[in-house]
Structure 1
Amino acid sequence: MSYLVDQSIERLKYNNVRITPQRHAILEYLIDKDTHPTADDVYQALESRFPSMSVATVYNNLRLFIELGLVKEMKYGDSSSRFDFSSTEHYHAICTECGKIEDIYYPGLDDVEVVASNLTGFEVTSHRLEIYGLCPDCQRK
């Protein structure tokens, strides 16, 4: 994991972004926790280490990370956005009962944008695949 943190810090430096302790902690949290947290989750997890940090600081840093391609924002209807460190292209399985999100890595879909472009003539800029169902914990309930 520290490799991903180091690599991300280098990308920030390359883009002339100052590495503050808060930025470093937010990035490290997103990499270490694969729970797809909300901005509020990040804030609550780090507020004891950074008592003067505001929720706005977390949002601003998440926006910066999104602009630089380090993080993806996952929007689902009216609920809070979730944030995902994006080191590799992957998809998501989402529990319709508890909201848990699991990453799915499926290399077979790597060329889906090319195929879609060839079939439709669209200039494809991105794609998103989500699978919905009940997670193992909710199935046991």
Structure 2
Amino acid sequence: MSDSDQRWYDAEAGPLVRLYAVTAGRARVAGEQQLDLMTVIHADPDAPDASEAGHEPPLSPEQQAILRLCSPRPHPVADIASDSGLPLTVVRVLLGDLLALRLIRATPPVPPAQLPDARILRRVIDGLRAL
């Protein structure tokens, strides 16, 4: 094994897979949905079991891990990236694929313009304390 080959091989962990191989060279999400850091991902309970061998196209181990992560409860995109140990850009591409397969749903965060005014919330809190 040459010096350059040893740099990409760990005897205990096995050969490393480069990230572009996980996403098939893609760096952007396919489709129109923007996946913000706070977009909440829900595993679709009505979707067919994606871990079955007959699922077409076959899911990657990373996609299966994301589905397992989101099955018990929804997770924001940032938490999925953190918990999976994958870079955010890779997670977004994989989530885009899962969205296209309709195995997950994405709920975008509420835009700040639609949130209630802080002064109104303060008055409601003050009113509740007065009770």
TM-score range for the pair, normalised by the shorter chain length = 0.3 to 0.5
Query: Larger RCO: Structure 1 or Structure 2 (Cα < 8 Å, ≥ 6 residues apart)?
Result: 2
TM-score (norm 1): 0.40
Q: Which has the higher strand share?
A: 1
